Amino acid sequence: MKRVIRAALLFTLAAGVKASAQSYEPLKSYHFANNQDFEKYEQDIVKTADWLQQTPWAVQGARAEKANQFVLDWAQGSPVVLIELKQAIMDLSDANPQLGFVYMAQYSKYTIQHKNNFDKISANMAALKAVMAKYIAEPTHNPDKDVEQLIQLDKQSKLEYWIENEFAFN
């Protein structure tokens, strides 16, 4: 009985991921002329961050490039988001460049969802946890000792300390 339930659950999850991947379409045209334009696209950034996080790389295809470009364009000009691309982020995404976009999208999402109580450490924590989750979930990821070290820090409950002392403010 447990096998049947487990198989049904896995099938449902797989179908949900496939449906989510098929239903998402990156914006084909957008413009950022003023602050209101950035605000207008905030929910699209959240949707894009979720899609990049939840959809396997093998399924993303050409939509990933457009989604990544949208997040990059939005984050570069947004008056509410300041993402500091530190060497640590470059190290975490050197073997798997997609993880850099996951970080940027999730940091942006956190900022949008926490406008009234934004905290830089918490934003980095959310973005880095998303990077680790994506790395673990991706069967096609390239091995990366930096990400694996981050995963170990998180397992040892030392991630926040690392962010505060070695990542976010150096």
- The domain containing residue 126 runs over which residues? 2-167
Domain count, the chain: 1
Q: Provide the whole-model pTM.
A: 0.85
pLDDT tens, residue by residue, 115-168: 999 999 999 999 999 999 999 999 999 999 999 999 999 999 999 999 998 875
> What is the signed CA dihedral for 61, 67, 69, 73, rounded to 10 degrees?
180
pLDDT tens, residue by residue, 61-114: 999 999 999 999 999 999 999 998 788 889 999 999 999 999 999 999 999 999
Listed in sequence order, the residues at least 6 apart from 111 whose beta carbon sits closer than 8 Å to its beta carbon are 80, 81, 118, 123
